Structure 1
Amino acid sequence: MECIFKNQPRWARRKEARPQELLAAALDLFVERGYAATRLDDVAKCAGVSKGTLYLYFSNKEELFKAVVRENVLPVIGEAELAIVQHEGSSIALLRDIILGWWARIGDTKLSGISKLMMAESCNFPEVAKFYHDEVISRGNAMIERVLQRGVARGEFRPIDVQQATNVIAAPIVMLMMWKHSFGACRSEPISAPEFLATYIDLLFRGLLADPST
């Protein structure tokens, strides 16, 4: 990975920009190396600051990782939560927007590497795993459950086990992100994300709709 700030002299950057530079460098390193292998020395070097400067903003690697998630992932969840509250159209359109919006903002970007990191290393770092579960997974699942409950209540979706349906809906998206950061890098015929998502949404909606002909 090429450090994105290495060609900028320290004096040329404003002090208030340093936290963002550190978070950007940390995101790149966490995605490339994983949580365990990312060292704060390397984050500081990549951001073009001393390790002492990094400690002015983040007390340890766990706090740095949490800040990366809060800066990059949680705003996307917050926007989706607001969109659900404000949506006045069909539940099908809302669920489609949530799925495609998540892929555009998370899955199709380097942020999907955070999901892969958590799948691979959560057992080794339980405090980090708990944070990610509470702040990302639980809120994401709650969004899907809310859309499903809305659809059932309005007669758009057939009666279902909302909790299990949420797990089923989330699983293919997680798989696609995992594939992107594993076999996707070496498979001769990579999975086309747009085609995958179109097929997934078609199958999903045919299973959910109270009247599949609509």
Structure 2
Amino acid sequence: MSDNEPREPKFRRRAEDRPDEVMDAALVLFSEQGFASTTVDQIAARAGLSKGAVYLYFRSKEAILEGLVGRTINPVVDDAFDRMSGFRGDPRPLLAEFLRNIATMMTVRPVWAIPLIVLRESRLAPGITENFRRSVLDRALPAITALLRQGVEGGHIRPVDPELTARTVIGPVLVHILLSEVFDIRPGGGLQMQRLVDNHIQILWAGLAPEREPAA
């Protein structure tokens, strides 16, 4: 930019950055001391803002966490659910990609921290569980169910209950996280999310394989 070109006012650039600054500060505090123990005053102080400035962008602490889900997790799952919508064919490659993307996503600390906060704080702050369910699970289960149903109807997988099988698809991943972060039970070598997903896919595919016609 030349010296003669108008520059964007500094305060305007700063204002556009403030929601992210608030969410960044909140994520650190939620991870360090828990959602229930964190106050909006603390978030504002860490972000270098007044409490009133935080409320210009977020109506509540719960809204900040909802913003973190929208910023961090929704872009990843949105793409997966869009691809599942209206898909016709063998659902297994799409499910494998979805599960492996989750495994990859869970290696990124800012992403990984969000479901951990929800799990750890669900009893003290049930509203955050409701927000996460609405943003992620209420979309994941119907999308996977529809994908499996068309797979059954097309003969690509054996006749299974699509709704229950959708829970089977995502259940082991959720339980694996629960065992690790709530009960402190992990396999040798740490979380091993990618290995868990690969093992899960191997077992799941064996259960979904189309039934063979009996030999004549």
Query: What TM-score, normalized by structure 2, do the two folds share?
Result: 0.80
Structure having the higher Rg? 2
Deviations 1:47-92 (A, max 9, x none): 2222222122112212212222222222222111112237566311
Alignment-mate amino acid for residue 122 of structure 2: S
Task: Give distance in 2, aligned partners of 1:178 and 1:67.
Answer: 23
- Matched with 2:31 is 31
Alpha carbons of structure 1 residues 189 and 75: separation in structure 2 relative to 1, 3 Å = closer
More off after superposition, 198-207 vs 37-46:
37-46
Task: Give distance in 2, aligned partners of 1:146 and 1:64.
Answer: 32
Runs of 4+ aligned structure 1 residues displaced above 6 Å come to none
- Matched with 2:66 is 66
Alpha carbons of structure 1 residues 169 and 33: separation in structure 2 relative to 1, 3 Å = farther
| 1:109 partnered with 2:115 | no
Task: Give distance in 1, aligned partners of 2:42 and 2:181.
Answer: 22
Kindly indicate whether the alpha-carbon contact (under 8 Å) linking 1:112 and 1:177 is maintained by their aligned counterparts in 2. no
| 1:56 partnered with 2:40 | no
Alpha carbons of structure 1 residues 156 and 179: separation in structure 2 relative to 1, 3 Å = same
Alignment-mate amino acid for residue 150 of structure 1: Q
Query: What TM-score, normalized by structure 1, do the two folds share?
Result: 0.80
Kindly indicate whether the alpha-carbon contact (under 8 Å) linking 1:87 and 1:94 is maintained by their aligned counterparts in 2. no
Structure 1 unaligned segments of length 5 or more: list them: 1-9
Cα deviation, residue 121, structure 1: 2.6
Cα deviation, residue 188, structure 1: 6.5
Deviations 1:84-111 (A, max 9, x none): 2375663111110111122223x22232
3-state SS in 2 of match to 1:123: coil
Deviations 1:115-137 (A, max 9, x none): 23323332333333222222211
Kindly indicate whether the alpha-carbon contact (under 8 Å) linking 1:113 and 1:181 is maintained by their aligned counterparts in 2. no
| 1:161 partnered with 2:161 | yes
- Matched with 1:6 is none
Cα deviation, residue 144, structure 1: 1.6
Alignment-mate amino acid for residue 73 of structure 1: I
More off after superposition, 136-145 vs 41-50:
41-50
Kindly indicate whether the alpha-carbon contact (under 8 Å) linking 2:103 and 2:197 is maintained by their aligned counterparts in 1. no
Alpha carbons of structure 1 residues 191 and 134: separation in structure 2 relative to 1, 3 Å = closer
- Coordinate RMSD, CA, aligned: 2.7
| 1:128 partnered with 2:120 | no
Alpha carbons of structure 1 residues 210 and 32: separation in structure 2 relative to 1, 3 Å = farther
Alignment-mate amino acid for residue 43 of structure 1: I
- Matched with 1:46 is 46
Identity of aligned residues (%): 27
More off after superposition, 164-173 vs 85-94:
85-94
Alpha carbons of structure 1 residues 131 and 192: separation in structure 2 relative to 1, 3 Å = closer
Task: Give distance in 1, aligned partners of 2:101 and 2:86.
Answer: 16
Task: Give distance in 2, aligned partners of 1:89 and 1:163.
Answer: 18
**How many residue pairs are counted as aligned between the two chains?**
201
Kindly indicate whether the alpha-carbon contact (under 8 Å) linking 1:23 and 1:67 is maintained by their aligned counterparts in 2. yes
Matches within 5 A, 1:165-180: 165-180=165-180
